[in-house]
Amino acid sequence: MVVKVYGPAYASPKRVILCLIEKGVEFETVHVDLLKGENRDPEFLKMQPFGSLPVTQDGDLTLFESRATMRYFAEKYKSQGTDLLGKTLEEKALVDNWIDVEATSFNPPIYALTFQILFAPALGLTKDEKVIQENEEKLAKVLDIYEERLSKSKYLAGDFFSLADLSHIPFTQYLVGPMGKEPMVKSRKHVSAWWDDISSRPSWAKTLQICPPPM
């Protein structure tokens, strides 16, 4: 049974899709419309009790955290496609460390900005300028730390592209694209070079080509 990824229009599911493309794993996507509240349907909540995206099914296994799902496929198809985990236990630990930085330090402010700037207007809500300013400041501090880190290694976990970098791509694309905040990336030399590198991977072009826009 082919792998199924729910919610390809949105950023978190694109982490899983990018990973599947890098690993050369066949999959299909199922559209879920957040703006219509399809993520609150009882049938959907049986798969994903928090009502978030993505949900991924691989045979009988259902996973719903995007980063855990990437790790699973990167491990399951270790010997095929791009190695995304690092070669030694120590490299793997550093990949994990920087995936967790993305999840706990980078994602909260960029998610808040995405919601305020892109989704609030689409949902008929008023943008909260105070929340935008606070989260832009938080994100800037995280990017300053990345700038220092990326002055010492080409990628976040070391000199190899990994899940730690991949995990940043979908939301950063919102930031430099529809959110109009490209200077946050461009003004930081090493972050900018890293972004140019990771966003020019063919896997990302293919992801954008097969996934519908979020609204």
Enumerate binding residues for its own copies (CB under 8 A). 49-50, 61, 63-65, 67-69, 71-72, 75-76, 89-90, 92-94, 96-97, 99-101, 103-105, 107-108, 145, 148-149
Gap between the Cα atoms of 54 and 4, Å rounded: 10
Gap between the Cα atoms of 120 and 115, Å rounded: 6
Give the nearer residue to its own copies in terms of CB position, either 89 or 124.
89
Gap between the Cα atoms of 25 and 33, Å rounded: 25
Min dist. Cβ of residue 76 to its own copies (A): 6
Give the nearer residue to its own copies in terms of CB position, either 97 or 187.
97
99 and 67 in contact (C-beta within 8 Å)?
A: yes
Gap between the Cα atoms of 54 and 126, Å rounded: 26
Gap between the Cα atoms of 174 and 195, Å rounded: 13
HSE-CB at 129 with a 13 A cutoff on CA atoms is 0
Min dist. Cβ of residue 60 to its own copies (A): 8
Tally of CB atoms within 10 A around 32: 21
Min dist. Cβ of residue 129 to its own copies (A): 19
Give the nearer residue to its own copies in terms of CB position, either 151 or 187.
151
Min dist. Cβ of residue 196 to its own copies (A): 23
Give the nearer residue to its own copies in terms of CB position, either 75 or 137.
75
Tally of CB atoms within 10 A around 64: 18
The residue behind tokens 């946050």 is 184
Min dist. Cβ of residue 77 to its own copies (A): 11
Give the nearer residue to its own copies in terms of CB position, either 39 or 201.
39
